[in-house]
Homo-oligomer: A and B are copies of this chain.
Amino acid sequence: MSPFARLFSAASRAVSTGAKTSPFTLVIRGFCTTATHYKGNEPKWGSKKYNRERKIKLQSATLLAEMDPEIEKQLLPYRAKVKEQGDKVRKLKEEGAPDIDVKKEVLELKARKKELEDMTLKLSPADTFDRAKMSDLVKRRFFYDNSFAIYGGITGQYDYGPMGCDLVDNMLAEWHKHFVIQERMLKVNCSILTPETVLKASGHVDKFADYMVKDVKTGECFRLDHLIKQSFEKKIADKKTKQEEKDVMNHTINILDGMTMEEMNDLVKKYDMKSPITNNDLTDAVEFNLMFPITIGPSGALKGFLRPETAQGIFVNFKRLLEYNQGKLPFACAQVGNSYRNEISPRSGLLRVREFTMAEIEHFCDPENKDHPKFAQVSDTVMTLYSGCSQMDGQPAQRMTIGEAVRGGLVANETLGYYMARIQQYLLKIGINFKKLRFRQHLSNEMAHYACDCWDAECLTSYGWIECVGCADRSAYDLTQHTKGSSTKLCVERPLKEPRMVDQVTPQPDKGSIGKTFKKDAKVIQEALAAMSSEEVLAMDQKLNQDGEFKVAGFTLTRAMVPSVKREQKKVHVEEVIPSVIEPSFGVGRVFYSLLEHSFRMREGDEKRTYFSLPPLVSPIKVSVLPLSSNQEFIPFTQHLANALTELNLLVRVDDSTGSIGRRYARTDEIAIPFGVTIDFDTVNNKPHTVTLRERDSTDQVRISMDVVPETVSKLANGKLTWEEVKEKWPKFTGQETTSES
């Protein structure tokens, strides 16, 4: 049943927490050839079952196209097992089997999918990536590190150093160009301190929780699923454990995601699990809300939270944004900023943190027309799509164009498809590896009941496939919730082709009576009355007739306060429509981390020389200037070049320290500087003065006139010139001709 998960948007998963899902109902999508439309048995809103953490798991790591036929043969039986189970689930759903039976089979389906994934990864060619080496480089050159390290550090919080900070800034600057400027989006920057009422309306106050157990003596807290997994892993590693017990535990780990709190509680009791630290007993599990509570102002009366996502700031400003856009749809609004989640046990470095940056877009459009005027421009984009159907059939992801996917109904509409293609273009531009990128469709049971389609851009890293960007069609959910919560209509007026006569019922309140009774609250009540639909007014009228009382906005009104209602026929020229929202949502820290892994390299034959092969576009520093030695003659040249480069707003690193030139190159490679200029004796002696210009990835060098260097590097850094073009124009550098003596 319900995908509470999706209440919190793709972002929930893309960023920090991982989605909350429960596979209770598996709604089969229409586009699956073997499936039928599933109707009825809608997820139940308010059910307790969906407060669940979904761990990031490795899913079919390699694409069919690239898979060795020999390996594929070995995978066949695993694929068949998934398919068999997928079909079984579909059949049960068709027959309208009881939820409890369906749920059992879905858990089994998940376990088989996991086995297939594990086997695929096991059989895939080994990756040379070495996480320890990268971590060392990241720490040593201060890309990022634990916050407050001199005070002992703190888990789940990181400080970005000069390199990390500039890399993120460059990623976001490109994001701004790629999305905000190119799509002419609006932009907002909203408060992080958020009053409780707002997050009550959005659903976060009631539902945004994980399960937690505590050490009965020390009070130390553990996330329930983490605890069970850790406990099982310990037992599995124990030689004394029998193989069949191990199998059961492995299987259970694979289905933890789908379990209820009660089922997990039972596991804790059955296996008599204790605190892994003190071996003390544990409390029963409780739900722990992941938002940071806060009180605003000195009195303590105004309760609030640090926002758990940036999206709500856009929704609550919808009316002003629509006005700004002169009342017209579609339009999109972007926001970049921090969000906060009080994780029970942060882990996996940057992938699960308490404080993180999101970049979210809300594209508001007509629910009946989700075509996109620029779709033709992206329709030929080839993407790796891992559909819900493929996931249920045990098949790998498929390559196809986004045009095919939308035409075939695999992706729900053009606007969603357009953003998916634009997201991919952006990720590739900043340096994400196409072979390690896929778009995974949410299974219906992962989606909120109102969402009609949702795809996550996932990057393959040493932690498995990581959800980095969500892209969801959230329908009218959010605006509807805030309309209810605030009694402010959040909708647009759509002109009708022909005017229409409608029955309209409006309340006729006695303003004097309401004012006298409720004083300063009267305004709120008046507004709430004015915002009621005809149906609601009729219902109120009936209730007032029956009981003499009616509740509005939390206040009890009497018949005397609303003596009558007015019924009339009205000619209307417009209809009110609540827009649909398409939401691309970026977890900036996760994209950043994936980018680091994807661009981490070791020089062939020298494993100590590690570096990042980042595109110049996002490299923190664009160019280094290295005098060959500390010879005084080099100084004016070094300074002149560094200043000229800085003039062009290029971030420059001068390294005039004593190391050998090779060593200093290695140092600039480490921090991903794509181009390096060396001043040597030829620079001093030649007329016109020349320098060597080196490219990081190839380590090729050319000899180039010093006066064209700033312009050349600027063009290289901005993608207006390629290194190949530079190599064609200037001679290859092999060694300097003159030395100090000549």
Which residues on A are within 8 Å of B, measured CB to CB? 141-142, 145, 147-151, 154-162, 164-166, 168-169, 176-177, 180-182, 184, 186-195, 197-198, 212, 214, 219-221, 288, 292, 294, 296-299, 301-302, 306, 313, 316-317, 319-321, 323-324, 326, 333, 338, 340, 342-344, 354-355, 482, 485-486, 488, 490, 646, 649-652, 657
Contact = CB atoms under 8 A, between A and B. Distances in A.
B165 A189 contact: yes
B159 A485 contact: no
A485 B148 CA distance: 12
A317 B316 CA distance: 37
A151 B184 contact: no
Nearest to A162: B186
B195 A154 contact: yes
A500 B139 CA distance: 35
A165 B650 CA distance: 25
A148 B355 contact: no
Interface of A is mostly: mixed
Given A161-B317, A198-B148, A646 B184 contact: yes
10 closest Cβ pairs, A-B complex: A147-B191, A162-B186, A150-B486, A221-B298, A160-B189, A150-B488, A159-B190, A157-B191, A165-B187, A165-B189
Given A159-B317, A324-B142, A651-B184, A151 B486 contact: yes
Contacts of A482: 150
A350 B176 CA distance: 26
B150 A319 contact: yes
Given A145-B320, A150-B486, A194-B148, A189 B164 contact: yes
B299 A193 contact: no
Given A145-B320, A162-B324, A219-B299, 8 more contacts: A148-B198, A148-B316, A151-B486, A165-B187, A191-B355, A193-B292, A288-B298, A297-B343
16 contacts: A142-B321, A148-B198, A150-B316, A151-B485, A156-B297, A157-B191, A159-B188, A159-B191, A161-B188, A162-B186, A162-B321, A169-B176, A181-B646, A184-B651, A184-B652, A192-B338
Contact of A320 (B142, B198, B326, B340): B142
Nearest to A650: B181
A221 B300 CA distance: 10
Contacts of A338: 192, 338
A671 to B, nearest CB: 9
A326 B657 contact: yes
B212 A188 contact: no
Contacts of A182: 646
A168 B189 contact: yes
A166 B150 contact: no
B301 A219 contact: yes
Contacts of A651: 180-181, 184
Nearest to A301: B219
Contacts of A188: 159-162, 165
Given A192-B355, A316-B150, A299 B652 contact: no
A297 B342 contact: yes
Interface centre among A177, A188, A482 (most CB of B within 10 A): A188
Contacts of A181: 646, 649-651
Contacts of A161: 186, 188, 317, 320-321, 324
B151 A355 contact: no
B316 A151 contact: yes
Nearest to A168: B189
Contacts of A344: 297-298
A317 to B, nearest CB: 6
A220 B299 contact: yes
A212 B298 CA distance: 9
A423 to B, nearest CB: 19
